[in-house]
Amino acid sequence: MVAKLFKRLRREVRPCVLKFMPYFVMSYYFMEVLYSVVNTPLVGRERAIVMDVNEVFGHLYTAFDVLLTIGAISLILGTRKEASGVTLLLIGRVIHRLFFSIWTVFFYFLFTDSLDVGSLLMLMAAKTTLREQNERPQVGESQYQILLLGGRLCLSSLFIMWLDEGPETFFSIVSLGLLLFITLGFHCKLFAYLAVIALLYHDVFSNHWSMLWGWNDTLLSVQYFSLLFCKIGGLLMLSELGGGKWSIDGFRNRNSVKWERKGSYRIVKSQAAA
């Protein structure tokens, strides 16, 4: 009875997760735009100093970055061309990293961007799934499976960053377990849910809480909250879509289908012989 109720509830919740989590992911990029617009003089001046160029160029680059991100958000949330929107976001991120990365901490930025890419790939997979429920499939099966594989692997960079922080022993074990099971795609949906719980503990209930509301700038605090929503959105979409065909779960499902087919064939054969 409880199992049937849980399955029914999950069937009702799943479309909501796939429908609304893309907005969670995009909230981070929207807050980046809002922060740049509200603090345009400061942001433009800081970027000019980092690039060692005239302040005018810093403001021009800020305007370009804002327009590029707004265009990408509009394509992703307002049209069916989410692939084009994600491409624009990735172009903007690559340009930003080339200009402003601190190369001594290059690998930190690499894993951070990998996490963002994972959320974006899961967003594309979620929108593809929703669209194909009511329309003729527009994305090939192999392309869809690549989205799931890439999204799963990129989201796993979150646990590598946690391990690099050198947390307490128990959380290190949790991080290592989540990294292993989600990377391999073993009970991926279950461990994606557990990853959301671990994320809330890490970002909200541990000593990392200061990264959320420990800023004097309200907009900056809200931006960090939106980054938390972006991570949650990516993991929840993974929990609904699963690891895909190229995972241990997918391999086990293919084997179970083969055995079911063999079993039904033997039953039909024995009935025919009788």
Token couple for 70: 């707004």
118: nearest Cα among 78, 160, 176: 160
The 10 Å Cβ neighbour count of residue 67 is 12
10: nearest Cα among 186, 240, 191: 240
Q: What HEC string does 58-119 produce?
A: HHHHHHHHHHHHHHHHHHHHHCCCHHHHHHHHHHHHHHHHHHHCCHHHHHHHHHHHHHHHHH
Can you give the pLDDT at residue 260?
52
Phi, psi of 251 (to 5 degrees): -65, -40
How many Cα atoms sit within 13 Å of 269 on the Cβ side? 6
Average the pLDDT over 109-123 and give the result: 89
> Taking the mean position of all CA atoms in its chain, how far away is CA 34?
21
56: nearest Cα among 40, 32, 71: 40
The CA-based angle 252-189-203, given to 5 degrees, is 145
Average the pLDDT over 163-191 and give the result: 89
**Cα–Cα dist 11/190, whole Å:** 16
**SS3 call for 145:** helix
Q: Which of 40-49, 106-115, 131-140 has the lowest mean pLDDT?
A: 131-140
Per-residue pLDDT tens for 49-70? Answer: 888 888 888 899 999 999 999 9
What size, in residues, is the chain? 274
Per-residue pLDDT tens for 122-173? Answer: 999 998 888 876 665 556 788 889 999 999 999 999 999 998 887 788 889 9
The answer to whether the predicted template modeling score (pTM) of the entire model surpasses 0.75 is: yes
Across the chain, mean pLDDT equals 82
- No. of helices (H) and no. of strands (E), the chain: 12, 0
Rounded to a whole number, what is the largest CA-CA distance in the chain? 89
* Domain layout of the chain by residue ranges: 2-38+101-133+140-273
